[in-house]
Structure formats: C-alpha cells, structure tokens
A and B are shown apart, each in its own frame.
Chain A
Amino acid sequence: MKKTSKSLLTPRRQVIKGAAASLALGAVSMPLMGRYAQTQSAEPIKIGFQVHRTGIGAAYGRWYDRTTMAAVEKINNAGGINGRPVEIIAEDDGTDPKRGAEVVEKFATQHNADLAFGTLFSHVVYGSAPRAGELKIPYFVVSEGHHVASGALNRYTLQPGITDVKSQVQAMAPFVADNLGKKVTMVYPDFAFGHDHRDYFSAAIEAQGGQVIEKIAIPPTETSFTKYFPKIPRDTEVIYHVMVGPAVLTFVKEMGEFFGSSRPEIFGFIDSLEATDLSSPGLEFLEGTYFWEGNPRYAQANQSEYDKAYRAAVGVDANGASVSDSKDVSTYAHMFGCWETLHIVKAGMEASGYRGTGDRAKLIEAVESMSDMPHSHAHPQGAKRFNGKTHQVFGHQYITKVSNSKLDLVHTTSIEDTLYPDEVDYTKQSF
C-alpha cells in the first residue's frame, strides 16, 4: 500500500499542475456552459415541465417530452413569447402524485418558473393541483381526466389543450348507436379508469336510445380472459372495450379466438393500443373494428397542412411512428395536447402582456377569456372551444376503422357532440 502511495505522489508540482489542467478541461465541459455563453438579452419564460420520465407513465412521458421540445423549438424560432425565449425545465414526477406535488413546489420555489405544465396521469394531477393552488402557480395539465371540469381542483389548474374523457366517451354514443348497434356489452378494467367509461358511456348510449346490456368488469391483475367472453350476451350488437396494461394483446388475441369469423361490431378506445403497432401479431382480429382516437395516428387522405407540419416538427411519419424507427409508434392520440397547450400559454401570455410571475393571475384570466380556437398550426388536432368557467377545452373526436392494419377515419364528431353542462365555475374562485 505504502509503495503504491509513494509512487503515486512523488512529483508534487506535477500533480498540482495536472490537477489544474484537468480542472480547466472540466470547466470547458461544465453543463450548460455553452448555453450560458449565449445568454439571451431577454430573460426566458420558464416553463416547468412535469414529465413522467419514470414509473408507469414513462412511455407517454417520452412522447410528451418530444412533442413539448418540438413545440418550444417552433415557438422560439418564431420569436418566442412576447419577444422572450421559452425555456423548459423538466422534472421527473415518477408518475407519482406525492412526488408530483414536490415537483410543482420545486417549479414555484426553486426554479421560479412562470408556470407548471405537462402532466398526463390523473392521480398525479390530483396530487399536484392543490399544491399549485397553494403556491399560486398556473398548472396547465394535459391529462384527459374529468377532474378539472368536475370542479375538484382549483382556479390555478387548467386543461386547455386536450379534451376530457367524459366528453370523449359521450361523443362516441351517437355514432355507435347509429352505425354499429344499440345493444352494447362493455368490457373494461375494474378500477376508476374503466368505471369512468362504464358510467359515461352507459348514460350517453341511453340518451341515444341504446342500452348497455352487460357490463363485464375485468380484475386489473387478470392475464387471461377466456372465462369472461362467454358472459357476452348472444344478442350483443356492439362490444365496447377499453382494456389497458400488459395483457392487452392477449385480450385481443383471445377475443379473436373466441369469436372466430363471426363477431359483433367492436368499438374500442385507442388507449388500449396507444403506441402499439397495429400490425402486431394477434391484432389481425381487429380488422374492421372501430376506435376512438384523440388524433388520428395515420395520416388521412384529407390530411390538413397543420397535421403535416406538426408531424414533421415532432418527427412522426405518416404511420404515426418515429421518423427514425418505424416500429417506435408514438402516443399520437394524446401528445398533441402538449403542443396545443404550449401554444395556448403563448397566446395567453401575449394577450395578457405577461411580464413575470406577478402576472400569473392575468395569464389565467386571459386563458379563461378564450373561447373558439380555429384549426391551425397552433391547433393541428382540430378546432377547439375552451370553457373558461370549467377550465376545460372541448374539441372534435375521431372514429377510425382498422383497415389493412391501419386506422382510416370514418367519422369526426362535432364539438357540440362533446359538450355537457358546466359542473363548476372556477372564475368565481378568488386568486
């Protein structure tokens, strides 16, 4: 040991010299050095990006990140917001409600961010929103949950870039009743996510003169489904499925094996197969079945110039997969929400003359005063209508049909199909 230490340490000056040189070398590659060197004259708008980097939301988080970065690049290339560049400060919430609240707190207190943005999973929104309200930091969520419009949250929490599940499900009922059948059997996972679908769709299909004749709740830990299919009544005209989790491909495969070539009409939510290639084995059975899509994954014949530009910016091909790997299918039905939300933040800040964190309330008021948003580069998914009272946006929903392992658009709902009576008026809450 002593020998080694001696041999290591003889030339004292040389060592110190070497250390200094290495320190200098290290400094050259200090993180963010490059960026600091090119400091903008204007202070950046800091957007705290609460992202599911780890945990069950990570697959969505990767695409939310990619879309967010693309949107910020577009906004910055076009001059930023009020002449200021946008800086994204990403923090991993671990898809964990408690951690989510901590992350929101970090945005408000450590990073001095202008606002927080990005969350997808509902339980993280539920966990984080109260903290955002307490710290008075605007919290723009991209979650699809009905929690915002239900009145369960607060004035600082808004969902202006993506529609909520209640409106999505409700808007499906007219198409299903008119085109597929009125006697519906629902197959859903037996927890809150599935229960929302069950409750919203049951009410909506009844309003269309239809009926849910059987509700088959599948335990979340189930991995084989053959014993559930015999419960589907013979007079079922439509099966409505919204299974999620690692057993979803097994579910489809076994459903195909059960029905063979004669099956009822089948309608599902793409959440089941989001980011999954439809040409995957076992999914052949889905040929000719229908899906809700928040945004059509496959570029359609009548693709808008906005969708084209949006795909190019995010790096998604005509099949909804990454331009650099055709098997890396995106979460196309959801991630547009990040893009659109950031454009709404931009519009809100510009409308309110936003200058800094002292203007947070003005920003919220500016967004609350928004209503119709035209189909545009800022809203590539389609036109939207924001409800300032409920802090929830409404928009077109898409129904596609599986054809040659692709999804062809067969119906676009009106915005009116998605509306429901207000359940809250957040504008009455004080800041």
Chain B
Amino acid sequence: MAPALTTDKAGPAEIADREPAAVRIENVHKSFGRPGAAQPVLDDISLEVRPGEFVCLLGASGCGKSTLLNLVAGLDRPTAGTIDVPGGRPALMFQEHALFPWLTAGRNIELALRLRGVPRPERRPEAERLLELVRLSGAYGKRVHELSGGMRQRVALARALAQDSQVLLMDEPFAALDAITRDVLHHELTRIWSETSLSVLFVTHNVREAVRLAERVVLLSSRPGRVARQWAVDIPQPRRIEDAAVADLSVEITEELRGEIRRHGQH
C-alpha cells in the first residue's frame, strides 16, 4: 500500500476552527533561570490536540519536549502564554515507570483510583479490569521489582488509565525498553487508544516510533523549542514499525530533524 500522507507547514490556526480541543497550547513561552539571565526553552509554541487524537512530539535533545509536557501536566507554569486542558488534569507517564515500590502492582492502580475518589468496594474490580486491559491479569499482587521493564510500563499505563483522564501525556515511556518489548507495547498502546476516546500527546526522539504510533507528528526545533513542521500520518492502523510506508515517512522526517540539528552547528 502506498503511503498516503500529507505534509503541511506548521499552522496551528488551520486546525483551531473545527472541534473543541482536548489540549490547547497558545503562544507558550518558557524560560528557566533568573529574570535577566533567563534561558528560553520554549519559544511561542502553539499546538492543539483534538479529542481522541494521537499526537507525537518529536525533537532532538534540548528542544524542550519534556518541559512542554510538564507544562501541560500542570507540574510547571509557562512564563507566558496559556495552556488549556478542558477535560481536567491529564494523566502522565514517564520514561521511568514511577510505580511506588512499597505497593503491589494492583495497589498502585488502586491508589490512583482512590485519589480520583472511587469508593473502596469498586477499586479492586476496577484495578483488575485495568490490569486485564494491559494483559497483566496475574500481576495484581506482584511487587514492582518482581516485574520486567515492559510489565512495569504496562502497569504504569494501567495506573495512568485509572485516573480516567481524557488526555494521556507520555514522556518517552518506552525509551528504556528493548526493541521487541517496545514493539509489543506500541501494539498495546495503539489497541487501547483505539478502544477508548483518549487523546494522547506522546513525546519521543525516535522518529520511527512517532510514525508507527501517531496520527500527527509535530517536529520541534531545538533551543529554543518551536514548532518546526507537522505531518499528518495517514498510514492505516494497525501499522508495523517495519512497514515500508512507516519507513518512507521516517526517512523524510529524519532528514528534516537532521536539518534542525545542523542549524545549531552553524552558530
């Protein structure tokens, strides 16, 4: 099947008029450090994620992708601009699983349910259901250190889903996994995303991963981070990371990414 893809130059205004956004980022600036000697990290970022959309944020190191995700998660505030998440606090998954080692896998999920206000008798069955969703039915009583890296990330995904947010933010969640495990988790994530109405904002530096997963890939430039270019990925799901269409678009995006990185060598 030929890769049916469209590319368009960064233009947040083009998508703004259709539906209410799940995440709306408008003219966001972020600097770190003291006023006066502040280092700009994000420079005038505008970006929207539509409800149910899967967006990958792509960029080289230092482009502020994680910073942007922290801002959307509400863990930090922008220096200027606004971030609006109408559906309430988004769930966030990290590169490290961030599961609490003093709780079992099931209890980790139940804690998220409890903090969300789910009454006690409903927590256990809900946790079991979520574990089943990530295909870890037997893991309820397992301690975090008894699980493999891939299993930990699946429990972390279940815990994030337990928050019942409409938006799931993912900060390079599979970067520390081996290729085969990552491939399996890509499949699981796509499956769960298509079964729910989740909007996903997924940060990665892996171009193939971005093309494998996303409906839209947003390339950020580095230092300070700006939206450099966007691609709509029209390759039908289920995709494979080794699909020719995925490879073709990855080559194109990688070329662009290299160009962004080269620009820094010239200064």
A and B held together in a complex:
no
- Give the A-binding residues of B (Cβ under 8 A): none
